[in-house]
Structure 1
Amino acid sequence: MSTPIPAAVVQAFTPAGRLRASINLGNPILAGRGADGQARGVSVDLARAFAERLGVDLELVVLDTAGKSVDTVKAGQADIGFFAIDPLRGEGIRFTAPYVLIEGCYLVREASPLRDNAEVDAPGRTVMVGKGSAYDLFLTRELQAATILRAPSSPAVVQSFLDEGAEVAAGVKQQLEADAARLGGLRLLPGRFMVIQQAMGLPEGRGAAAQAALAAFVEDMKASGFVAEALRRHGVAGAAVAPAAGPAA
C-alpha cells in the first residue's frame, strides 16, 4: 500500500487545480489514439493512476511530438510528462528512473548495401530522424560523418525518408517494423543503436518532495506489475519493463 501524499506535494503537482499530463503521440509504444479518437496507452494509464494517487482530476495535454511535450512541461503548462531520459531534456525537467526500455533501430531499403549498424556513420550517408526525438538528440551527439535529416515527427520518419531519398531511417523499433510491413521493400538492420530509458518527469521547480513522490510512484508501478500489464493490455511488444532503481546516491 502506498504512503499517502502530503497536501503540500499534491499542491506542487496541481497549481492549476488538476493534474495536467503531457501525452506524446509520437511514440507508439507509449500512446496513440483509440478507435474513439481518444488518447490511450501506457503513458495514459500511468497518468490516470498518478492522478488517482494524488486524489485529483486529470487533464491530458495531447501532443504529436516529443519535442512539444518536453517544451510544454518545461514551460509549466503540464505538471508531468513521459520522456526518454536525455541530458538536454534535463535542463528544466527532473526525471524519475525509467519505467520502460525501448530499442532504437535503423531501417534501410531492401536494395541498400548497408548490413550493419556500424556502417551507417560514413561520409555522404543521410539519416532521417524525428525532429527533437530522443533518437535525434542521441544521433546528433554520436554521428560524426553522416548527415542527419529531420522529419516533422517520429511517425513521419519513414515517409520522409522515402520522399527525400535518405539512405537510413532511425527510430523506435516497433514504428519502423510496422512501416516496413505496411510499405514493403524495406528492412531493419540487425540489432539496435541505442536503448532508450523512458521515464516520467516534472518541471524542475516543483521541489524535491514532488520529485521524490513521482520517483516512488514509478517504482511502485514497476514492482506491482502495473507497467507490465499495461504493455500487455495495449499489445506492445519489444519493450521491456525497466529494472528497479537502486538506492539514491
Structure 2
Amino acid sequence: MGKLEGKVTVITGGNSGIGLATAKRFVAEGAEVIITGRRQEELDRAVEAIGSGVTAVRGDVSRLDDLDRLVATVRAKSGRIDVLFANAGLGKLAPLGAIDEASFDLTFDVNVKGTLFTVQKALPLMQAGGSIILTGSTAGSMGTPAFSVYSATKAAIRNFARSWALDLKGTGIRVNVLSPGATETPGLKGLADAGKEDALLEDFATQIPLGRIGRPEETATVALFLASDESSFMTGSEVFVDGGAAQV
C-alpha cells in the first residue's frame, strides 16, 4: 500500500517542475491525481510522462471561471479532494525602479489571488484528514535582489497558512507551506537570459550550504510527507527544502 493509496489529490501547476515531479510521486504512492496548467501541450506531455492515474484540466488559477471548472470536474469525477497542492506560481526578475504594473499584476494574480481562490473553491470538497499544501519559497523570508515582487507574494503565502490554520480549526483539515530553495526547474531557468541558464544555476549553487541546487524530486518527497498522515500533527507550518540557503 502506498502512502496516498486511494486519495484524491489536486496539483495546480502540475505540468512541469516541482508540480510534475510531485504528480509522479503521488501516483506512485497510490493517489488519484488531477493536475492543472495553462498550456495544453505541456499538460499533454505531463500526462504522457506520468502515465495512468492522472487527469489533466487546462486552466489558469488567476481566472475564477477556470477554477470553477476545475472544481466541477473533480466533483463529477471523484466527489472529494483529500490533498490539495496549490503549487502554481511564477516570477520575474526586476529591480526597484524597473518594476512595471503588468508584471506586478500578473505575479500577484497568479501567486496570491490564484492560491487564495484555489483553496477557497476547493474547500467544500475537503473533509477531516485533508491536507492543503501551499508552495512558498525561501524568497518569502529572505531579501533577494531584483525579486521583491515575487518575494512579497511568497511572504503572503506564508501568512495565508498561519491564518487559515486558525480559520480551519475544528475541521480536521491541515494547511502547511512547502518552501523550496533554488531548484532545477523550467521556471528557474526562465529567469535567465537566453544562453545564460547554466551560469544562473551555478550562481545559485554558490549561495547554498550544500553546494548545489535542488532537484524537483527532492521537493516532491517532502510534499508527499505533508500530504500523508505522517504529518498529521502539523498545521500552519513552513517546511524548507533549500539545501540550507535560508537557514544560515
Based on CA coordinates, which of the two structures has the bigger radius of gyration?
Answer: 1
Between Structure 1 and Structure 2, the one with more helix by share is 2
Tell me which of the two structures has the higher relative contact order, counting C-alpha pairs closer than 8 angstroms and 6 or more residues apart. 1
TM surpasses 0.5: no
- TM-score w.r.t. length of structure 1: 0.30
- TM-score w.r.t. length of structure 2: 0.30
Between Structure 1 and Structure 2, the one with more strand by share is 1
